[in-house]
Structures are given as C-alpha cells and as structure tokens.
Amino acid sequence: MLISLLLAAAVPPAACPPNSGPAVLVDVTGFKNRAGQVRVRVFGGPPSNYFNRKRALTRIEWPVPASGRVTACVPVPRAGVYAVDVRHDVNNNGDTDRSDGGGASGNPRTTLIDVLLSRKPNPRTVQVQVGNGTTAVPITLLYLKGGAFRPAG
C-alpha cells in the first residue's frame, strides 16, 4: 500500500485549492491548549486498515498554532470511503501520553476501556464518503479527564 508521509515542520497545511481533486479538509476543534504538535492521518481500504499506523495513506504533523482555526487539507488518491484520526501531542514528545488528546472522523464516543482493550470505533461511525472535490471532516478532540474521554471545554 502506498504510504505518503507529509511532515510540515513550521507551516500548517492550508485550505484545499479549488478543483484540486478528491481531498478531506479536516477541521480540528477543542484543543486543551495551544502547545505541542497536531497529527492528522487518513486511512482507506477495508475497515481493518482504519487506525493502524502501518496502514495510513497520509500522515501530516505540524506545530499547533498559537491561535486561529486548525485545519488540514489532505488529498486522497480517489473518491471513496476513508477514515481520519487526529492526535494532539501536548508535550511534543512523539509518544501518546495521558495528557494528549485525540479524535476521529464522525466523532465517535470513546471509553477508557476501549483504549485499554485497543478497541477501534465502529467503521460505520468513522467512515467519510469523499467525492471528487473537497469533503469537510470536523473532529473534536477528546482528553482523558476523571477516567473518561471528554472534550477539553
């Protein structure tokens, strides 16, 4: 499977240019703070590929901006069904920690038990149908608070 790694060091991804082909425009909200890195991954193919780090079609990372909207335009190979996940690496150490936030397309409810047992969200919840243009994908980050994953606000 073709894996495209796009690592943006200092400049966040921009909005999707018009007529640029199939893409997802990921709009990330709910940041606990504006520190660290944000990572967006897109998965395609069978649902067993979803959220498997070795099966990501695209991975983009960049510093969380100090203010403003956090969006990423991610081109996809063709129109079809995809899933998207986002991680806010609060302390920018490259590892997933208890302080980090995360979310997925469809904004599925995630429990601590789901994480401990490595259960993935229901594919029907996270699937995004992408056409030949740009498809908006809003994702609200969730953080571990009091034994549950909740929005930061």
Write the pLDDT tens digit of every residue in 37-68. Answer: 999 999 999 999 999 999 999 999 999 999 98
Supply the pTM of this predicted model: 0.88
Which residue from 73, 38, 40 is spatially nearest to 56, judged by alpha carbons?
40
pLDDT value at 9 more than 80: no
Q: Where in the chain does DSSP place strands (E)?
A: 4-7, 23-29, 37-43, 56-63, 70-75, 80-89, 101-104, 128-130, 134-140, 142-145, 148-150
Looking at residue 118, its pLDDT comes to 87
pLDDT value at 4 more than 60: no
pLDDT value at 23 more than 60: yes
In the predicted model, what is the mean pLDDT of the chain? Answer: 89
Helix (H) or strand (E) holding 126: helix 123-126
